[in-house]
Amino acid sequence: MTRDDDRHAASADDDQLLVLPDDLRHELKEPMGPIETDADRLLETVDGPLIAVGDVVTYHLLEAGHRPDVALVDGRTKRSAVDEEIREAVTSGASIEVRNPPAELSAPVVRALRRALAADEPTTILVDGEEDLVALPAIVAAPEGASVVYGQPDEGMVHVKVADDHRTEMRALLERFEGDTERFWALLEGSDDGE
């Protein structure tokens, strides 16, 4: 292995924090909150910061006149590219671009989530890869009373009002992921910015 190979391997390992184990996949198919199909009705129940995970969810919220405080988009829905109108709407003004491979949570996406949650302005994170799993750390890191909204394929938008019981449940789930959970928590909680 050359020195460049060593450096590349180290940086790739630095980025990968957690990987979703196969035996957890079925648990994540269950919605973590009520499912809503009408964005206006969903927004009536939002009274704190709004975190949207997914292109179609973000698009529906924008169409209803509400820009999420944090939006995570990847240009895809159900593993296919979203249409041009949705892509343009949800990526306009993207503030942060990061890589996050499917079925993983990478260090860059966790850092970006933390930065976006702390920002005063609405922040869109454009993910090269997949953003689905970021709903889990978003529920842990969002303030009490915040709303995390993500898509449930072919059903609608799942609305999680962040409270201690949700955080506890997500922490337990994330602890069951494979990888460096200690570094993941340090990054999410801001005690290791890795930079």
* Best CA proximity match to 70, nearest among 14, 131, 12: 131
Look at 46-55, 74-83, 139-148 and tell me which has the smallest mean pLDDT: 74-83
pLDDT at 195 over 60: no
pTM attached to this predicted model: 0.86
Q: Which residues pair with residue 50 across a beta bridge?
A: 147
pLDDT the model gives residue 14: 53
3-class DSSP state of 4? helix
Average of pLDDT values for 21-41?
89
> Cα 67 to chain center, whole Å?
16
Question: Residue 109 — pLDDT band, cuts 50, 70, 90?
Answer: very high
Is residue 192's pLDDT more than 70?
no
pLDDT band (50, 70, 90) for residue 23: confident
Model pLDDT, residue 6: 35
Confidence band, pLDDT 50/70/90 cuts, at residue 72: very high
- What is d(CA 45, CA 107) in angstroms, rounded to the nearest whole number? 32
The residue to which tokens 């927004």 are assigned: 43
Q: 152 pLDDT exceeds 50?
A: yes
* Residue scoring higher pLDDT (81 or 122): 122
pLDDT digits (tens, 9 = 90+) for 154-186: 889 999 999 999 999 999 999 999 999 999 999
pLDDT at position 90 is 80
The two tokens of residue 75 are 């240009």
> By percentage, how much of the chain surpasses pLDDT 70?
88
93 pLDDT above the threshold of 80: no
What is the rounded average pLDDT for all residues in the chain? 85
Q: Which residues contact 55 (CB under 8 A, 6 or more apart)?
A: 73, 74, 75, 76, 77, 82, 86, 87, 90
Beta bridge partners of 148: 51, 160
Q: What is the pLDDT of residues 120-137, one digit of tens each?
A: 899 999 998 889 899 999
User: In the predicted model, what is the mean pLDDT of residues 57-75?
Assistant: 92
pLDDT at 59 over 60: yes
